[in-house]
Amino acid sequence: MQRFALRMLAVACVLAPAAAGAQVLNNGPKAATYITDEDVKTVNALPGIDRQLVSVDVGKTNVAVGIIHRVAAGARGTGAGAGAGAAGARGAGAGAGGGAAAAGGRAGGAAAAASTAPPCGEQMATVPAGAAAGGIYHEGQTETYIIVSGTGTLVTGGKIVNGRKSPPESEVTKVLNGPSCSGAIAGADVVRKVVKTGDIIVIPAGVPHGWENIIDHVDYLSVRPDPERVLAAGYVNPALQKK
């Protein structure tokens, strides 16, 4: 199934430059980037949640590819939402804090920075009943998720409630998703859908998203067109760099 996911990843990488127009195709990079099944497994075995594989210049944008590992709430001290879910419900910017902890292992400092970040989303005295605790949206980056193993409930749509902007120094801003807003997800148009291995989800920039009810774990490739070039092209995960 991972080979299927990688084939879908190749399609996504091909479509990104094609959509940018003929000029990019004529004048842009000429070489393809290959990510093997073994590469994905190597990086997915590393500690953390959100691990970048590569970032590639495809013309008018970079394309970043990561492998993300989320576990059931409480397992190994990692929440199932977009970050530390309970904190997100309290408007503490959990998604940004969780992303920073995943990338750098500096959970305490990131959470403190997120709590002092400017508010975003809709501010309410009380989070609506039934809200998803940990959610996030990205101001400039669309994400395509390709589920490679496991299952869980993906929450999309609605609005961020009592959110906080990702701090400029956070890893989620610097190397993953760019400026983002994290908090609870609520609203009449929230969609909760159980996803499984082989499913593909496209989440446009600005659309809140998070996780609930993960059964053991869910691993997924995330393909991120990066027009703001948050992560410099040419990045290769250190675990994959040739000695």
pLDDT digits (tens, 9 = 90+) for 52-76: 999 999 998 999 999 999 999 866 5
Q: pLDDT digit string (tens) for 169-227?
A: 887 777 788 899 999 999 999 999 999 999 999 999 999 999 999 999 999 999 999 88
The whole-chain average pLDDT of the chain stands at 79
Provide the β-strand partners of residue 153: 194, 212
HSE of 4, CA atoms in CB hemisphere, 13 A:
10
Instruction: For residues 84-99, give the mean pLDDT.
Output: 35
* Total domains present in the chain: 1
What pLDDT was estimated at residue 131? 95
Q: CA torsion angle for 145, 218, 132, 142 (degrees, to 10)?
A: -10
Residue 182 domain boundaries: 2-240
Name the pTM for this structure: 0.76
Instruction: For residues 89-99, give the mean pLDDT.
Output: 35
Provide the β-strand partners of residue 182: 136, 164
Residue 148 neighbours by CB under 8 Å, 6+ apart: 1, 2, 5, 40, 67, 197, 219, 220, 221
Separation between Cα atoms, residue 134 and residue 161, nearest integer Å: 10
**Tell me, what CATH number does 13's domain have?**
2.60.120.10
Separation between Cα atoms, residue 227 and residue 204, nearest integer Å: 13
Dig out the tokens for 16 from the structure. 């990104």
Separation between Cα atoms, residue 114 and residue 168, nearest integer Å: 10
What pLDDT was estimated at residue 2? 56
